[in-house]
Structure 1
Amino acid sequence: MIDTPDTVSFGYTQVAPQEKTRRVGEVFASVAKRYDIMNDLMSAGMHRVWKDDFVRALKPRAGERILDMAGGTGDIAFRIARSGADVTVADINPHMLEVGIERAAKKGITSLVWREENAETLSFPDRSFDAYTIAFGIRNVTDIPAALSEAHRVLGFGGRFFCLEFSTTEWPGFGEAYDLYSEKLVPRIGKAVAGDADSYRYLIESIRRFPRMPDFAAMIEAAGFRNVKYRPILGGAVAIHSGWKV
């Protein structure tokens, strides 16, 4: 299935762009309260290691202005905030933001700014930030090139773009085992823990539909970023992509 001007992929189904936006909103409204627990179960806790690695690669500094897009539950923002950077957490889904705000309050973190924003049409002025992060969110965006273009627009010159996302592992044997686990077991875990198998089935399908690492790197370059790189984790099951606005 190939996206056209009139349709985009929602998992393995082609739908109108506005329909995908609506359906993705419903998915994350459904899973918001159990999102972090499910991440632990689905990745055996490894998502925490990946996120730590991601923020270390970002190298945030005190006083920097950083936009964490699709960061509703706060996992990335909490890590970045330890550096003293000024972090704005943005997410299109208010239910995810509610979870993040509650978690921040429990942790006593008061420095974060929370904004409901669409990655494709950000309300921030040009050159508002020094860095832009998005972790496990870009594949759920309806128009990925538009989101990448917006990331480029809101970054100042010398600003950096960092993306953590599932991809396609290149390790022989592991890919087949991972596919079997994710296709067969993850929806069952979603049903048992979050009471929602369909949302987790979509999330797995969205991973399968996401571009391979070199193809996504080409999309980042097409948005205007330079020195674009990617680093595979678990052979590419997860990858960190980065680029600079110069």
Structure 2
Amino acid sequence: MSDKQSTHFGYREVDNDAKADLVANVFHSVASRYDLMNDLMSGGIHRIWKRFAIELSGVRKGNAVLDIAGGTGDLAARFSRIVGDQGRVVLADINDSMLRVGRDKLIDTAHQGNIEFVQADAQDLPFPDDSFDCVTIAFGLRNVTDKDRALRSMLRVLKPGGRLLVLEFSKPESELLGRAYDGYSFRVLPLMGRLVVGDSDSYQYLAESIRMHPDQETLKQMMEDAGFARVEYHNMTGGIVALHRGVKA
């Protein structure tokens, strides 16, 4: 390993400046079938997880919402309907392939009127201070190289009283569920990726990145350390997924 700072790409240790390109290659590979794989992997339950996030967001008509790592636009489409013509939704993603798929999808479904598309790095968001009523990041934080820096960036662009919601895979609450989930993640997901996308390596990375992501309490502490107040989390599907919510004081 070089003298450069290192981080994890799945179970591998890599230089910090290499991770972004490695993650980018994963999402370039899977972008065209991302929605299909989400439905197959979760049995459609990811839609319930996202609906719960939207309910806890407190977003109302006229609000400004930033959806980071917004990918193919599931959350952005729903927020677009909520905020209405006087509101604003920014779908941001660091990966141009994912952003292109999301843009095409939302244009096809006529939700594009109040949605902007921005290629952006969560660690250095290109927006002024105090810009958004709500920031969301769903299944994206584990791919960020410097999570602490990204959380501080999200805090900066939120208005006082604004909310951050982090929806992410987390640690199952029971050991039995954890063992079953490991078996599914490391055996079924790569096979599914090979059959559906022609890429098993990306889904091996997915399984590994979930295991390397901070657990519920650790992420809660990270959000508090970044400056968020009233941080709480809600486990879903036995803790396989957790929704963290924090407020900018």
* Deviation (angstroms), 1:239: 0.3
Does structure 2 retain, via aligned residues, the 8 Å contact 1:62–1:86? no
Moved over 4 A (4+): none
C-alpha distance after superposition, 1:67-109 (max 9, x if no partner): 0000021011111112124110100001001000110111011
Contact 2:4 2:15 in 1 (8 A): no
Per-residue CA shift, 1:35-68, capped at 9, x if unaligned?
1100111111110111111111112101111100
**Following the alignment from structure 1 to structure 2, what is the Cα–Cα distance between the partners of residues 179 and 100?**
30
Which residues of 2 match residues 1-246 of structure 1 at below 5 A? 6-84=5-83, 85-110=87-112, 111-246=114-249
Query: How many residues end up aligned between the 2 structures?
Result: 243
SS in structure 1 of the partner of residue 60 of structure 2: coil
Q: Report the TM-score when normalising by structure 1.
A: 0.97
Q: Hey, what's the Cα distance between the residues in 2 that align with 1:5 and 1:133?
A: 31
In the aligned structure 1, how far is the partner of 2:5 from the partner of 2:63?
39
| Cα RMSD for the two superposed structures | 1.1
**Conserved 8 A contact 2:230-2:247:** yes
State the SS of the aligned residue for 1:26: helix
Q: Report the residue type matching 1:200 in the other structure.
A: Y
Cα deviation code 1:216-244 (max 9, x no counterpart): 00000010000000000122110000000
- Compute the displacement of 1:208 (Å): 0.4
Identity %, equivalent residues:
47
Q: d(CA) in 2 for partners of 1:226 and 1:194?
A: 41
Note if contact 1:130-1:155 (Cα within 8 Å) is conserved in structure 2.
yes
SS of the aligned residue for 1:35 comes to helix
8 Å Cα contact 2:143-2:209 kept in structure 1 = yes
Contact 1:161/1:242, CA 8 A, preserved across alignment: yes
Give 5+ residue unaligned stretches, structure 2: none
Q: Write the letter of the residue equivalent to 1:132.
A: V
Cα distance change of structure 1 residues 5 and 214 upon mapping to structure 2, 3 Å threshold: farther
Cα deviation digits, residues 92-145 of structure 1 (max 9, x gap): 001001000110111011221000000001111111111110000000001100
Q: Distance in 1 between matches of 2:220 and 2:238?
A: 16
Matched position secondary structure for 2:124: coil
Equivalent position SS for 1:168: coil
The answer (yes or no) to whether the contact 1:168–1:212 under 8 Å persists in 2 is yes
Structure 1: runs of 5 or more not aligned: none
Contact persistence 1:135–1:163 (CA under 8 A): yes
Give 1:175 shift.
1.3
* TM-score (norm. length: structure 2): 0.95
